[in-house]
A and B are shown apart, each in its own frame.
Chain A
């Protein structure tokens, strides 16, 4: 598996587009968090809420990154060479998922840690400090885990659609239309276990509410969606000829 992960790392680092997406995600987290913590904390705003403000944008961006990590291989035809080098599809998709989780986790950690450092400096210049409490720790933990799972879920969706535009459209439709419709017209309980409701429930300070009251249960539900879709993707990849 380490050999496959190294291959994925070289694929990732050797083109510019994933770096641009990561940079944009990090920049959004940093900018909103610094603005929220450094400026608004003087007005008594919760730093966890400042962090949660960026979550929708970052989760969408990381999902798109995940879709691209596999769909680009189909687009440029490198998937055939990939499958001749690693004919076991399940190992390949597992490696991509593990790598995707790592990319999401590390990106979110760097973004949050960096922005807290800068925000602390700015807050100190206003003469106050950033309050660190249990809610902030839970929000950071949920945010980082949701970020990692988002990239993996994007990869799972990409393995099913094999097409960037189709994969991204499916993700956005589900996130902004389908899940809202299910929640409104079906049941709140069912809506709360849908993937993106679960993703936002993983971040306690987010304004999007879900029936999942415990953030770590929401993380598990979101991860289960990623794993389930990856299993479907693997079966489809095994049956379809690349």
Chain B
């Protein structure tokens, strides 16, 4: 089932939360949805699920708006707020009441509780669940209708490493079954390991979308880490090629090198020149290298570059 988001705009009073956002989510892929805090990710997901009313634009699932879907849990499974559970209601009853409204057989309730590992606590009150268990219950609710589309808002929240691995594998498994999996997460390293496609937003606007390879390839230039006792001279040589050089993470980028003195073994982070070129440049100038490591551009690198101008607030720089 294809998801099409077309020109969604949502305003809360004077705050423009989502601004003409458009993107697609295709079946058989895990599509990551990333953006800084306050970028409009959750609002977009709520609009997609008809929980928030868009000022303009729409989201469709194979051409149908969410409200038009008969028994919507059979078409779209959603995990938005895992802690939205009556504390005195059992996990089983929590799922059973939603299953009933969408004509989902009771047997499926026990099936999904088993799938998420909550079968043993099915009759326990959900109020006693840990955040991780609540997250599992939320995922069970999303899976209840065996839907072709999954919309997951921060599904790894509160999960231990084993739970995060389980979520990652589950998303991959669901996508490999041909489902459309649309997931937001601030755990970019985790997301980077599982997503096929990315939608990056900032201040409610689309910053980039496409395959993970495309987004990283266009935004993350080659990265190389170099350690040399003659780092300053090497850094200056590299900078002359137009590549950006950072010394020990405190140097200036591009056009020059700061930090460290001649003869010290310092680390250089080079952006825009591949490892082979750096090695050849060092050899041609008789510079000794202690380390030369090509690095793949990470999702964090691409994310930070894409969103650096759109963050409404950010933590202070270390040491500032």
Contact = CB atoms under 8 A, between A and B. Distances in A.
A83 interface: yes
Interface string A81-102: 1111111100000000000000
Interface in B88-121: 88-90, 93-94, 96-98, 100-103
A220 B238 CA distance: 87
Contacts of B296: none
Interface string B62-103: 000011010011001010110111111110011011101111
Interface string B30-68: 000000000000000010011111000000000000110
Contacts of B234: none
A3 B49 CA distance: 21
B89 A15 contact: yes
B257 interface: no
Interface string A68-90: 00001000111111111111100
Interface stretch (A6-14, A31-39, A135-143, A169-177): A6-14
B85 A78 contact: yes
Contacts of B85: 76-78
Contacts of A127: none
A4 interface: yes
Contacts, number: 83
A3 B101 contact: yes
Interface residues of B, number: 33
B161 to A, nearest CB: 27
B201 interface: no
A187 B85 CA distance: 47
Interface of A: 3-4, 6-11, 14-17, 72, 76-88, 239, 241-242
Contact of B101 (A4, A17, A77): A4
B84 A80 contact: yes
A18 to B, nearest CB: 11
B75 to A, nearest CB: 11
Residue among A4, A78, A84, A242 having the largest count of chain B Cβ atoms under 10 Å:
A84
Nearest to B88: A15
17 contacts: A3-B100, A7-B97, A8-B97, A11-B97, A14-B90, A14-B93, A15-B88, A16-B88, A17-B88, A76-B87, A80-B81, A81-B80, A81-B141, A82-B98, A84-B76, A85-B101, A87-B66
B67 A78 contact: no
Given A3-B102, A80-B51, A81-B141, A14 B89 contact: yes
A241 B53 contact: yes
Contacts of A11: 97
Contacts of A15: 86, 88-89
A13 to B, nearest CB: 8
B86 A84 contact: no
A17 B86 CA distance: 12
A11 B101 CA distance: 11
A26 B50 CA distance: 40
